[in-house]
Structures are given as C-alpha cells and as structure tokens.
C-alpha cells in the first residue's frame, strides 16, 4: 500500500518507464510513501483500476503518451467514478500542450506540463499537507540536471533480466525539426558525465546488458560520445547490446574509429534521415547536410559492424510520391540494415501545424494523429504508403529474406516493392496476422509471375525460409526440393 502511486500504461511489458523512475527518485521525503505501478495498454481498464485501488492511494500520477492516451482516459474516468476522493495528476508529452481539447482533463485534478521531476513531488506535498494549489494546470519546473537524483537503482533485478533498460546522457535537442516535440527545446543539456558513467557501471555490475539511450542527439558532443563508447568497449560481452540515436551529418573520424572497434551485434545506430529533399527540409526547419549524411551512412555500412536503423517520414509538407520514392532509393543504396518508414504525425504542440492550411494537411483527429491526406498525397496514396511500410517491416526489415529481397527490389527498389505491396494487399487484404508460411508463399507467387522468373527462385526462397528458423511446410517448398 502507498499514499502515492506512480503509474503508466506501457506499450508492451518489455518497456520499463524511465520517466516514472525519475519521478520516484526525486520524491525526497515522500519516496517511502510512493510506489510504482506499471501496466500495458492491452490490459482491461477495470483490471487496472482494481489493482490501483488495492494500493489504497491518496494520489495517483499517470504518465501520458501518444500510445496510451485513449486507454489512460478510460482508466482515469473509471477510477474517478469509483473513488472521486483520490487526487489524479497527469504528466507527460501528450498532456503538455493543447489541453483545451482533451477529454481526459475532465476527470483529473491537476496536470503538470513539461518536466515533472521536481514539480510532482512539490505538488504531492501540497496535496497531502496543504495549502492545496488552486490551479489545475501547473507548469513543470526546469532545474539543472545536476540537481536531479538518478533513477537507475529503481530498475529491479527482474527489469534488468527481462526488460529494456532506458538511459539518458542528455536531454533536449538543439535542432528545430517541426514534426518533433524536441523542436521546442532551446538546446541540449548533458547530465554530469562522470556521475552518469558511475550509474552505467552499477547497472552493468548488476547484470544489465541491454542499454537503450533515449538521447535525441547522442553524437552532439563528441568528447562525451567517445567516453561513453569507450565505457562499453572496455566491457564487451557476447550479450551486450547498446542503442544510440545519432545525427547523420556529424560523424568525425575519431567517432568513426571508435564505432569501428565494436564487433557485430553490439551496436545499433538509429539515424534519422526523414527526407533528402532540400526544399522539404527548409520547410520543416531541418538542417541536414545531405552529402555528409550519405557519406557517413555509406562509411558505416562498409567499414563498421554496427546495425544501422534509418528513418524516413512520408507525408511531410511539400513532398510528393516521386520525391519520397527518390529518397527511399537513395537511402537503400547506402546499405542500412533497416529503413523505418514512418507516417507523419501531428504531435500536440509541434510547429508542423503551421503548414496545415497551405498544404491542406488533414490529420487523424484521434491518436496517433497520422496524416490522412495533403496537397501532394491523397488519402488512397497514403493508404498505399501505410501498407508499403507494414509489408516492408515484414520483409525488408525482418532479415528473413536476404536472398529473395534483391529479387523483389531489382534496380528500382521503391517502385518494385510498391508494385509488390499493391499486389500483396489485393491478394491478402491483410497487413497483420499473416502466417509466416503464407507470407513466403505469397512472395514466391509474386516473383514466379515476373518475366522472366529467376531460375533458382524456389531454392533461394527455401534457403531464406530455413535460415529464418521456421519449421512449417509452405506450398512452394516441394518445388525447391524437386529442383535441388
């Protein structure tokens, strides 16, 4: 039981909330009266309410994000109906902007906008001991990061064994890309590096081997980046995995040399290209040297063993289908292992909203606020791109089709895969819950009807199927055995 409960609905069990742990670490004298209660979005709201009430709290704080706003609204509404005396406090990016239109605010007592690390504790003190605040919306207090208590000791041994460990060496972002909430930051703030590395050491000693950095710009300060990379280079183990998000056009030789020392399977770099179109980049205030970005991605693919996860966004203002296709082909030629195709979302508070009228940007009014159509891409075209992105995850990003993916893409990757995507949709009418055996059969059927089909198509696809670890019996396999 606890007087104060910190809760959120994670998108899946493997995700452990770093934000809640920061709040708990900075509760001061109220820490002993505070408890974490994490759930996942597929749990029934009534079950979540029951478990929260079993803790007998006086205050419940919820972390609210784009992926859980609808589920959290149901939980909060039911919780307030059953126990109106419990003070409900919201925080998080989804409730830090455009509050006037949000249904969830009807059911809560207070909302903290922006950083809540110290503001939540102060609010709880006032709610428990008075005087109670009169205002419903409270602006979070930004304090120097050196004044915050680190939260990493609050990862349990079970967290370290079964969940992603999120860490951050810095907060904020100096760039102004209008689709991103970080564009509202004035700069990037680092945590004290020596103290942060001590926290990493303690996590490592406790058995943590999967570290996902949530920094928006890990390679902004090269000296700090090198020290962090060196920390992991000195502690290489077969099960170590580290994820960073890096700026594509800022990769000096010293950083390349450090990256090149990591063996395969340890380092994953998320590299946001988003668009190669200079006019679109200017429209959305994105500063990116495309030539340097290309050179760096090519170098990473050819000279490092890092896993490269790159990003493109469909639906940006001013980017039509031809421009997006050219960007995809240009990125694919650089050799990343994954290309994540995102559909533009109008996150609350982001400056991308200023283009709504000029480019006829029409967004889903419900989460995830994805673009439905704009001046250059109609609804049908964006639906096709949505399906392309899903099928690309199943085939291009999955790693299950190393031999047959080149046959699918040929010398026009986007155009060839879009044709396949359209055909796959017409034959399956599914983007989810496609059985693996059926997916392989569909790939075979598509490639077999191309002119001319590859002479070893069945054998290549069979090799991909076997290496994937699947043990079923897709229909095309006997063809491969007959020609083996």
d(CA 210, CA 363): 36
d(CA 4, CA 56): 9
The segments of the chain whose pLDDT lies below 70 read 482-484
3-class DSSP state of 271: strand
Q: C-alpha 220: how far from its chain's center? A: 20
The string of DSSP letters for 317-384 reads TT--HHHHHHHHHHHHTT--SEEEEEEPB--TT-GGGGGTTTTT-EE-SSTT-BEEE-SSS-HHHHHH
d(CA 210, CA 165): 6
Does the predicted TM-score (pTM) go above 0.85? yes
d(CA 468, CA 99): 47
pLDDT at 481: 74
Q: pLDDT tens, 210-259?
A: 999 999 999 999 999 999 999 999 999 999 999 999 999 999 999 999 99
Q: Which of 98, 100, 108 is nearest to 75 (CA)?
A: 108
The string of DSSP letters for 176-193 reads --TTSGGGG-SSEEEPPH
- Owner of token pair 């292992």: 337
pLDDT at 484: 54
d(CA 250, CA 233): 21
Are the beta carbons of 126 and 118 closer than 8 angstroms? no
pLDDT at 61: 98
């Amino acid at each position: 039981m606890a007087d104060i409960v910190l809760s959120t609905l994670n998108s899946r069990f493997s995700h452990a909330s770093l934000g809640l742990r920061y709040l708990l670490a900075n509760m001061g004298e109220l820490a002993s009266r505070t408890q974490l209660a994490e759930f996942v979005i597929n749990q029934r709201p009534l079950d979540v309410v029951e478990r929260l009430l079993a803790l007998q709290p006086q205050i419940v704080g919820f972390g609210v994000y784009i992926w859980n706003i609808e589920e959290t609204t149901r939980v909060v509404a039911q919780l307030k109906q059953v126990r109106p005396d419990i003070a409900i406090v919201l925080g998080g990016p989804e409730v830090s902007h455009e509050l006037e239109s949000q249904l969830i605010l009807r059911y809560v007592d207070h909302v903290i906008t922006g950083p809540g690390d110290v503001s939540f504790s102060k609010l709880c003190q006032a709610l428990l001991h008075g005087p109670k605040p009169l205002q419903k919306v409270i602006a979070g207090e930004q304090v120097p990061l050196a004044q915050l208590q680190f939260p990493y000791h609050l990862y349990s041994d079970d967290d370290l064994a079964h969940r992603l460990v999120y860490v951050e060496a810095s907060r904020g972002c100096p760039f102004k890309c209008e689709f991103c909430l970080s564009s509202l930051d004035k700069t990037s703030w680092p945590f004290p590096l020596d103290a942060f590395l001590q926290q990493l050491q303690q996590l490592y000693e406790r058995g943590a081997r999967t570290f996902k950095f949530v920094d928006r710009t890990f390679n902004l300060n090269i000296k700090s980046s090198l020290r962090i990379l060196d920390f992991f280079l000195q502690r290489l183990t077969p099960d170590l995995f580290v994820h960073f998000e890096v700026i594509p056009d800022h990769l000096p030789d010293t950083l390349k040399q450090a990256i090149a020392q990591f063996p395969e399977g340890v380092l994953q770099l998320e590299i946001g290209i988003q668009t190669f179109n200079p006019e679109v980049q200017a429209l959305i205030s994105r500063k990116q040297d495309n030539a340097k970005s290309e050179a760096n991605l090519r170098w990473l693919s050819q000279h490092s063993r890092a896993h490269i996860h790159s990003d493109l966004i469909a639906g940006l203002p001013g980017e039509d289908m031809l421009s997006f296709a050219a960007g995809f082909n240009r990125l694919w030629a650089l050799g990343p292992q994954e290309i994540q195709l995102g559909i533009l979302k109008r996150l609350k508070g982001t400056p991308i909203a200023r283009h709504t009228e000029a480019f006829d940007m029409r967004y889903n009014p419900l989460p995830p606020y994805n673009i439905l159509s704009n001046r250059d891409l109609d609804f049908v075209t964006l639906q096709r791109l949505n399906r392309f992105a899903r099928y690309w995850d199943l085939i291009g990003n999955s790693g299950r089709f190393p031999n047959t993916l080149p046959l699918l893409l040929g010398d026009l990757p986007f155009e060839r895969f879009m044709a396949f995507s359209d055909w796959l949709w017409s034959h399956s009418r599914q983007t989810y819950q496609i059985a693996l055996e059926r997916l392989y059969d569909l790939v075979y059927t598509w490639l077999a009807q191309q002119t001319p089909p590859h002479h070893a198509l069945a054998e290549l696809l069979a090799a991909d199927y076997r290496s994937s670890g699947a043990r079923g019996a897709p229909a095309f396999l006997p063809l491969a055995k007959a020609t083996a």
